[in-house]
A and B are shown apart, each in its own frame.
Chain A
Amino acid sequence: MPLIAIEGVTKVYHLGEVDIVPLKGVSLAIEAGESVAIMGASGSGKTTLMNIIGCMDRPTSGTYLLDGRDVSKAGPDDRAALRNRKFGFVFQSFNLLARTSALENVELPLLYRPGVGSAERRRRALAALDRVGLTDRLGHHPSQLSGGQQQRVAIARALVTDPAVILADEPTGNLDSASEKEILALFSQLHAAGITVILVTHNPDIGAHAGRLIRIRDGRIVEGA
């Protein structure tokens, strides 16, 4: 059974009288432990697909089985819990809380997990920061860190919940090439450690890095389904 099984998924947004259809029937299966790159031009629907995979959004039609469970009809609170337990998000613009230490940023997702006390939260955050090699920057605020370091804090934040899947949307889009290499190496490490990594990008070099390449164009998968 695949970890992620998407069948005939469409997404329609109503903007006034105009309907925007970023996904026009997508079917896709991703096994646990895979390393996948979703590639497409801007406006191709790749971000919408990632939002649906990450339970940020619901498909208009079609089914989405996550670990065998149909989550395409899950309500907002259920999806919040799924995001907290199954996924770790990494964004192009890092999205770290300003004026907040690296450690506290990493602890953040555990705040929303019931039954995790402050001692455990700290222990797990330290472990996650250790995995990304930032144990010497615990008390630093995002403004005191370089772009590459900020993205590593964000990856630690994604790892702290022990997610099944890391979802990264253009994770190196705001970085110089040296930092990009570091971050991609980090993803490779995580993949090697058994985590499913899904990268969304329009950069072919990064796409080539992944074990499997899925190309999307005009809301349809054209390669790699």
Chain B
Amino acid sequence: MSFWKIFVLAIRSLLRNKVRTALTMLGIVIGIASVIAMVAIGQGASTMVQDQINSMGRNIVMIWPGAASSGGFSYGGGSSTTLTVEDAEAIRREIGSVRAVAPVIRARSQIMYGGQNWVPQSMMGTSPAFVDVRDWNVRDGSFFTEADVASANKVCVIGQTIAETLFGSDSPLQKTIRIKNMPFTVLGVLDRKGTSAMGQDQDDVVLAPWTTVKKTLQGSAFSNVDQLLASAHEDTARAVEEVTALLRQRHRLGEREDSDFRILTMNEMANTATQTSQVMTLLLAIIASISLVVGGIGIMNIMLVSVVERTREIGLRMAVGARGRDILLQFLMEAIAISVTAGGIGMALGVSSAWVISGVLKWPAAISAPSIAIAFAFSCAVGVFFGFYPALRASRLDPIEALRHE
């Protein structure tokens, strides 16, 4: 019998039992839909984490002061005051693998404009290199200059959130805001950066020259920093090595002494996050695959029942000239038609539910062509695998016995 004849035969048999066929499909539909939706959501989450990490700036190297200790008593991370703006200068001067480096000094203060006030999540003193390091440009106006840093001018650059909160639709440029009751001129507004990997609104930010923050806001004469942000050219690992060596030398650390700073690259964080989400995706896919197998067993179950129920039909087909192979192919084709149709419906359902879920959770859904292709191939395989045994049983029936079956 030709493939087409067998196909038509199988479809007709299935249409004769529409409700049963639909219910049999349900398992595979749910299985395929959940595989596709789960993988899409998992990969979407992974992409989102990746994007957020990339929003920190490409090839970024972060350096924090380490824990200061005295007499074996540690004061905790960040308590050391040995990491300074001069270190940043030295890195910029001496290390070729670093593209740019900026100091970060954190402050927290209320800001006011007109009758409104606001406490930004993040207030940082830094240098103009910040723009390069964080890959974060000014949208309106301009960033402050090295001259502003040198003379500790009371100028600042603000993020989108603050621009919208304090100024609404007005332009904030050249307006004066008050930080700790001191007037600061707004020079520029930064591009929108969105939520960070830690869930922080990165646009809720005020940037000012580090000198201004240190001297004017904190009243400190020292130049120690809360963080140094460096951006490597390509080879972040080499940059980390060179920066570590330079800082250890500058801080006069002996070979056996621990570093008084911590250094971490965004790539390491990105790798950790990617691995985590890959494991999650894999787990989701495995759970979904189990439901696919359960669906396959459902097909086998129904096909076995169908073979018993249609024993007389099989006997008749054999009596009028069907060979065992014809019967085998017919039942196999029925199983495959069920699973492939179900696979198609499941795909549509999976893709649409991925869209809905991503819409509700505000996650991007990464519906990948490979996951759809694999799911489809898998549903065909389920049909062949779980349809073969019932089909084989059908094909081995004795026509005389089969015709006598009640």
Residues of chain A at the chain B interface (Cβ within 8 Å): 51, 54, 56-57, 76-77, 80-81, 83-85, 89, 91, 95, 97-100, 104, 108-109, 111-114, 157, 161
Considering the chains assembled together, what is the distance between the CA atoms of A83 and B400 in angstroms?
13
| Contact B312 A95, beta carbon cutoff 8 Å | yes
Q: In the complex, identify which listed stretch (B95-103, B238-246, B319-327, B356-364) lies at the interface while the others stay far away.
A: B319-327
Q: Which of B284-335 contact A (CB under 8 A)?
A: 312-313, 315-326
Considering the chains assembled together, what is the distance between the CA atoms of A54 and B319 in angstroms?
9
B403 proximal to A (CB < 8 A): yes
Chain A residues with CB under 8 Å of B324's CB are 76-77, 80
B84 → chain A closest CB, angstroms:
87
Considering the chains assembled together, what is the distance between the CA atoms of A104 and B325 in angstroms?
21
| Contact B317 A99, beta carbon cutoff 8 Å | no
Considering the chains assembled together, what is the distance between the CA atoms of A102 and B12 in angstroms?
14
| Contact B400 A80, beta carbon cutoff 8 Å | no
A110 → chain B closest CB, angstroms:
9
Q: Mark B367-406, 1 if CB is under 8 A from A, else 0.
A: 0000000000000000000000000000000011001000
B1 proximal to A (CB < 8 A): yes
> Which bucket holds chain B's interface residue count?
20 to 34
Residues of chain B at the chain A interface (Cβ within 8 Å): 1, 5, 9, 12, 16, 312-313, 315-326, 399-400, 403
Chain B residues with CB under 8 Å of A98's CB are 16
Chain B residues with CB under 8 Å of A104's CB are 12
Q: Can you list 17 A-B contacts with CB-CB less than 8 angstroms, sorted by A residue number?
A: A56-B400, A76-B323, A77-B323, A80-B321, A80-B322, A80-B323, A89-B320, A91-B403, A97-B316, A98-B16, A100-B12, A100-B16, A109-B321, A111-B322, A112-B1, A112-B320, A157-B320
Chain A residues with CB under 8 Å of B319's CB are 54, 56, 83, 89, 95
| Contact B16 A83, beta carbon cutoff 8 Å | no
Considering the chains assembled together, what is the distance between the CA atoms of A8 and B1 in angstroms?
36
Considering the chains assembled together, what is the distance between the CA atoms of A56 and B322 in angstroms?
12
Instruction: List the B residue with the shortest CB-CB distance to A75.
Output: B323
Decide yes or no: A99 and B16 within 8 Å by CB, A84-B321, A91-B403 being known contacts: yes
Chain A residues with CB under 8 Å of B325's CB are 77
| Contact A113 B321, beta carbon cutoff 8 Å | yes
A89 → chain B closest CB, angstroms:
5
| Contact A112 B312, beta carbon cutoff 8 Å | no
Considering the chains assembled together, what is the distance between the CA atoms of A91 and B12 in angstroms?
24
Chain B residues with CB under 8 Å of A89's CB are 319-320
Considering the chains assembled together, what is the distance between the CA atoms of A133 and B326 in angstroms?
31
Instruction: List the A residue with the shortest CB-CB distance to B312.
Output: A95
Decide yes or no: A109 and B313 within 8 Å by CB, A56-B400, A95-B403 being known contacts: no
Considering the chains assembled together, what is the distance between the CA atoms of A113 and B1 in angstroms?
7
| Contact A51 B320, beta carbon cutoff 8 Å | no
Considering the chains assembled together, what is the distance between the CA atoms of A126 and B209 in angstroms?
95
| Contact B399 A56, beta carbon cutoff 8 Å | yes
Chain B CB within 10 Å, residue with most, of A56, A80, A84, A114: A80
Instruction: List the A residue with the shortest CB-CB distance to B17.
Output: A99
Instruction: List the A residue with the shortest CB-CB distance to B399.
Output: A56
Considering the chains assembled together, what is the distance between the CA atoms of A112 and B326 in angstroms?
8
4 nearest A-B pairs in the assembled complex, by CB-CB distance = A84-B321, A109-B320, A112-B321, A80-B323
Chain B residues with CB under 8 Å of A112's CB are 1, 317, 320-323, 326
